[in-house]
Structure 1
Amino acid sequence: METNNRNDKYIKAKKRVEALKGFYKHFAFYLVINGFFIGRRIYLDISYGDSFLDAFTEISNYRLFFWWGIVLTFHAINGYKFNFFGKNWEERKIQEEMNKDHNKF
């Protein structure tokens, strides 16, 4: 029985580490690819006659960075298991409601 429990914990821990590893790879890929595309867009803007400041502050150069960042945020939430409305939250809310009713009487 204890061996099964230990194996289950190991399997869960391994899956969690794999999820975190996937997130870290995704984040590194995100930084490299977006750095390349942002640098390329800034370089092209400068070659078309914009100043460095104009090219750097051009908001359209950062669209991919923004939208991919939203996807990366969801990946982080999934990888770190931020369960805002998970089982623990439900149990806490049930206890709070029971305590409210108990205090009324």
Structure 2
Amino acid sequence: MESKNTPHVSSYERAQKKVKDIKGFYGHLAVYVIVILVVLSTRGRFMSIHNTIFQDSEYLNWIDWNVFGTPIIWGIFLIMHGIRVFGKNPFLGRKWEDRQIQKYMEKKT
């Protein structure tokens, strides 16, 4: 294994970071699924209670926008997280990071 004083990251450290990133993504995915299931199931219960008490359609629309907007917006961020972790991002992926690191390392000398 390489010394910690070298400016280059060892293969082991890079692999360790990749595993940590993947683990973080799966944790994010698990939280997303649990929260969205709770939000959607709560919506059904809330709507049945609300319809018997209140008749305000604007309030119901507001609830729907929140209930369905949350998974959509959060899902977009989850997709972006997955792209970053699994390296499918053509713009800011691992190759871009490596080029930037190399560029700044060369600038230093």
Q: Same fold (TM over 0.5)?
A: yes
Partner in structure 1 of residue 23 of structure 2: 21
| 1:47 partner amino acid | I
CA deviation after TM superposition for structure 1 residue 59, in Å: 5.3
| The one of 5, 8, 11 aligned to 1:9 | 11
Structure 1 equivalent of residue 38 of structure 2: 36
Tell me the SS of whatever aligns to 2:90: coil
> Aligned Cα RMSD in Å?
2.6
Larger Rg belongs to: 1
Q: Tell me which of 65, 70, 78 is aligned to 1:72.
A: 78
Identity of aligned residues (%): 29
Alpha-carbon displacement from aligned partner over 1:16-72 (angstroms, at most 9, x marks no partner): 00000000000000011111111111211122338xxxxxxx953311011000010
For these two proteins, the number of residue pairs brought into alignment is 78
Q: Would you tell me which structure has more helix in proportion to its own residues? A: 1
Structure 2: gaps (5+ residues):
3-8, 53-62, 97-109
Partner of 1:102: none
Matches within 5 A, 1:22-101: 22-49=24-51, 60=65, 61-85=67-91, 87=95
The amino acid that maps onto 1:32 is I
Structure 1: segments with no counterpart, 5+ residues: 51-57, 89-105
Normalised TM-score (structure 1): 0.63
